[in-house]
Amino acid sequence: MPTTPNNSNRTSTGSAKSTTSVTQLQGGWKEVKDEVTGDCYYYLGGDVRWDKPVEAVGGGGAQEVYDSPYKSPYKYDNDDYDDNDDYDDYDDNLGSGLGGAVPEPPPMTPQQETRLGLGGMEDEEEEEEEDVPISYLVETMNDLENHWESVKKYTEDREKGRRKLVLQQRRLQKIEMEEKENELLMKKAEEEKKRGVKRAAQIAAARRLKEKEEKERGLREEEEKERRKAKIEEREKERERLEEVKRARERKAKERELEEGKKAEREAVYRERERLRVEKEKLEKEERREKLKQKEKLSRAASPKRERGELPPQPERSASPKPGLKKAASVVVAAKAVARSSSTVAVANKRGVSRPSKVGAAHTPTSSRHHGHRHGHGHHSQDPPTPEKKVKPEKEKEKEKEKAPKKEEKKEETITNPFAHLF
């Protein structure tokens, strides 16, 4: 039987009849399908024979021709189709197994073979032509008719057996086709199942990968939150530290301002004291100057009278001064000490030097002046230097030595600064 070609990748080539369709298959095969009965015929190459479709049946150029609609096979070895071709190459036992053997035609007798000219052909040249009687011809015609009847009956029986066989073969073919289709369906189902399993595995793997990525993303987000929180805490700590530093600086600035204010107040007090001291010194100098002027006037007025004897001689001064003079001298010396201490503090503030703990330690008498003897009396006295330390001419120094009262100079040697504890 012919093998069924692969039916995949079909391309329809149109239809030559209204009830049939032709589909081009792989390898040059064509499929002819009857839309009414559903029968399919296959052939390879050549023109379509609608009454008897053609199909290749192997090598050697042999083909089968099927009688529609029973697909009755006729084999022939050439391309010229002939309906009257005999069945010599077909199996004589084709009908066996289909309900009994097909009866063979009766053998011909030698007389029939001789009458039909099928007997042994002897030397025809030696035989002489004989006149054949009419009875012999009639008998021969009857024998031929009988023979052809037997051949016809044999042919009909053989055709019936062949058709039964064809029907059986068609049933087997159909079963095989169904089995193949079932196998194809099973394979397809298995492939679909494999693809489904593979797809399910891929989906599961994708789901696991997605869950893993989501978990990792969640961990990264948590880490990022912790990092941001730590940064915020660090910024808060840094801001608090800066605020603390700022407060400390402000506190130090306020303390510095207070110190500067106190220092300015002290400097103002020192400046005021210095001003008062300077004014006091000026007043004292003016008073001394006035006293000296008065004394000079009195001495000038009294000296001529004393020389003329009009005034009594001046009595000698004792070593110890009178109590009233002693008290006045102590007051003057204390005032001078206060003025001297104020000037020392002012000079130290101007130069940026801290004020001393004791005024008396900063200013000590360093020079001693030798006064001349007046009326036979002489003594040494120490006078503290003035803050300005002006250098006076020699004539002024001599005049001051003469005019300065001796008792006051002597008293200045023993008096200390009573206001030193205030500074």
Q: How many CA atoms, within 13 angstroms, populate the side-chain half-sphere of residue 338?
A: 17
The two structure tokens encoding residue 215: 């978990």
The pLDDT score that the predictor gives to residue 276 is 93
CA dihedral 233, 238, 239, 241 (to 10 degrees): 130
Q: What is the pLDDT along the chain (423 residues), one digit of tens a residue?
A: 444 444 433 333 433 334 777 777 766 677 777 777 777 766 665 554 444 444 444 444 434 444 444 444 444 444 444 444 444 444 444 433 334 444 455 566 666 666 555 555 444 444 555 676 788 888 888 888 888 888 888 888 888 888 888 899 999 999 999 999 999 999 988 888 888 888 888 899 999 999 999 999 999 999 999 999 999 999 999 999 999 999 999 999 999 999 888 888 889 899 999 999 999 999 999 999 999 998 888 888 766 655 555 555 555 444 454 444 455 556 566 666 666 665 555 555 555 544 444 444 444 444 444 444 444 444 444 444 444 444 455 556 566 655 555 444 444 444 455 555 555
The pLDDT score that the predictor gives to residue 226 is 93
Give the position of tokens 């053609």: 54
- Cis peptide before 69, with omega less than 30 degrees from 0? yes
Enumerate the β-bridge partners of residue 374: 377
The pLDDT score that the predictor gives to residue 236 is 94
Please tell me the distance from the alpha carbon of residue 286 to that of residue 290, in angstroms, as a whole number. 6
Neighbours of 67 (CB within 10 A): 15
The pLDDT score that the predictor gives to residue 181 is 92
Contact (Cβ atoms closer than 8 angstroms) between residue 95 and residue 139: no
The two structure tokens encoding residue 284: 């004292």
Q: Which of 158, 187, 151, 173 lies closest to 98 in space, CA to CA?
A: 158
What is the total residue count of the chain?
423
Q: Which of 58, 47, 30, 57 lies closest to 81 in space, CA to CA?
A: 47
Please tell me the distance from the alpha carbon of residue 103 to that of residue 149, in angstroms, as a whole number. 13
Long-range contacts of 15-21 (CB under 8 A, 24+ apart): 16/48, 16/50, 17/50, 20/50
Annotate 143-191 with three-state secondary structure. Answer: HHHHHHHHHHHHHHHHHHHHHHHHHHHHHHHHHHHHHHHHHHHHHHHHH
> Please, what's the b/e burial string for 311-336 (b: 16 or more CB within 10 A of its CB; e: otherwise)?
eeeeeeeeeebeeeeeebbbebbeeb
The pLDDT score that the predictor gives to residue 115 is 56
The pLDDT score that the predictor gives to residue 378 is 45
